[in-house]
Amino acid sequence: MSITLRVFLLILTLGLLGGCGFKDIDKRFFVVALGIDASENEKKPYRLTLLLAVPSPKIEPGASKTQIESIDTESIAEGVRMLKAYVDKELDFGHCKVFLIGEKIARQNYKDILQWMSRRRDIQSVADIAIGKPDAETILNVKPVSERYPGNTLFLSFGADGTESSYTYVESLSDFARRASEKGLDPLMPVIIKDSKESFIINRTALLDKKRVKLILSPAESQLYNQIAEDFTKSSMHGMFQGLDLVVAITEMHSKFHLGKENGQDTIILDIMIKVVFEEAPKGIYEDQWLPIEQELNKEYAKTCLALLKKIQKANVDPMGFGLRYRATHPGNDAWKQWQSIYPTIKFVVNPNIQIEGTGIIK
């Protein structure tokens, strides 16, 4: 081997040894949640809040240790860089599973926030996104007594490993970004409300257009939306029969819609098949025939679904994708403009088919 080749290989090896930019895990701060609010400073309109995980040898209820850093900034990207001066370790977003947007900024314009989240390479597309009320910083400062490790309570609230509430809509960053750019399909997000210093509630859903929040559903409306749009079965239904209150649990549910015409008018027909069992019923109802009860439940469910669909229509948002279906079934460059003119006055028809399977277990 020639001397020239030996020198070249030596230089190449030294270059590889000196160019390693990897940092050990003990020199990183893992961001587990990020909150973005509107600040009171006009020159620095964004307020960023990072929830940082502090490693701890204990994994038990109440043992979670976190560090919270906040800053007002002119832009989100610059604010993240500025926050590096507040800590002694490199910020790592690879484990950031929850992004919170303050209610104020969600009602103004969320587009710049979404752009930053979509472009940054170390942010997971499967991360959950939600609205914090009254603001994201307040929610991140809540300290649940049952939290075992940093951010665990928020993760379990949205993930299938923890609670599965029929009132909670779960939205990922990738789906939100798709909805924010797709014609005929509008985004929606769960709303997290502070309950106390140690807890919060997630039982409302915000419906948005391509820029801001247009409507926030009540808890009952949020559950109903999850049922008809997501076929959520771990939920209940209230009804009346001959002046008596009934509560049934949904065991199976399938819904579908199609576009058509009824008496010459453009119509959206929603067909819903539901199988239920009694959870609460007055004494003596078990001896009655179920058909009259099913008919009464069908009428009541159709009425509440129709009211929700009209409320969403009045807000001029389309989270269920009616417009997307119209574009798919009506080819042509003018299909989207036609749908925009049709949707505000389109008629809804709801056809529920509720089947009672049993009365539950009585001992």
Residues 230 and 193 in one domain: no
- DSSP assignment of 96-116 equals --EEEEEHHHHTT--HHHHHH
User: Please, what's the b/e burial string for 276-287 (b: 16 or more CB within 10 A of its CB; e: otherwise)?
Assistant: bebeebeeeeee
SS3 126: coil
Residue 143 in any domain: the answer is yes
Mean pLDDT of the chain: 86
Residue 11 in any domain: the answer is no
What is the reported pLDDT for 19? 47
CA triplet 84, 86, 87: central angle to 5 degrees? 75
Residue 63 in any domain: the answer is yes
- Which residue, 168, 191, 217, sits at the end of a domain? 217
Residues 62 and 175 in one domain: yes
Q: Which region among 11-20, 266-275, 288-297, 335-344 has the lowest average model confidence (pLDDT)? A: 11-20
Using the structure block, give the residue that is written with the tokens 């949020």: 222
Residues 146 and 281 in one domain: no
Report the alpha-carbon distance of residue 255 to residue 272 in Å, rounded: 4
SS3 19: coil
What is the reported pLDDT for 207? 97
Residues 210 and 229 in one domain: no
Nearest to 142 by CA among 101, 104, 194, 100: 194
Q: What is the CATH number of the domain that holds 264?
A: 3.30.300.210
Share of the chain above pLDDT 70, in %: 87
Answer whether the bond into residue 134 is a cis peptide, omega within 30°. yes
What is the reported pLDDT for 284? 67
Residues 192 and 257 in one domain: no
- DSSP class of 84: G
CA 322 to each of CA 137, 282, 302, 342: distance values in angstroms, whole numbers, following the listed order: 35, 40, 18, 11
Residues 53 and 107 in one domain: yes
Residue 240 in any domain: the answer is yes
What is the per-residue pLDDT across 236-276, written as a single tens digit (0 to 9) for each?
Answer: 888 777 777 888 899 999 999 999 888 889 999 999 999 99
Residue 39 in any domain: the answer is yes
323 contacts 185 by C-beta, under 8 angstroms: yes
- Which residue, 168, 201, 217, sits at the end of a domain? 217
Residue 15 in any domain: the answer is no
What is the per-residue pLDDT across 323-339, written as a single tens digit (0 to 9) for each?
Answer: 999 999 988 889 999 99
Q: Decide if pLDDT at 15 tops 60.
A: no
Report the alpha-carbon distance of residue 9 to residue 6 in Å, rounded: 5
What tokens appear for 259 in the block?
């576009």
Residue 14 in any domain: the answer is no
Q: Decide if pLDDT at 10 tops 70.
A: no
Q: Decide if pLDDT at 358 tops 90.
A: no
Q: In Å, how far from its chain's centre is CA 340?
A: 26
Q: Decide if pLDDT at 7 tops 70.
A: no
For residue 309, give its domain range: 221-363
**CB proximity list for 342: less than 8 A, separation 6 or greater:** 266, 326
Q: Which region among 7-16, 160-169, 185-194, 229-238 has the lowest average model confidence (pLDDT)? A: 7-16
Count up the domains in the chain and report the number.
Answer: 2
SS3 253: strand
Residues 190 and 234 in one domain: no
Residues 291 and 248 in one domain: yes
Residues 331 and 282 in one domain: yes
Nearest to 141 by CA among 35, 62, 289: 35
What is the reported pLDDT for 148? 72
Residue 4 in any domain: the answer is no
**Which band of pLDDT confidence, cut at 50, 70 and 90, is reported for residue 2?**
low
Residues 145 and 251 in one domain: no
Report the alpha-carbon distance of residue 256 to residue 320 in Å, rounded: 11
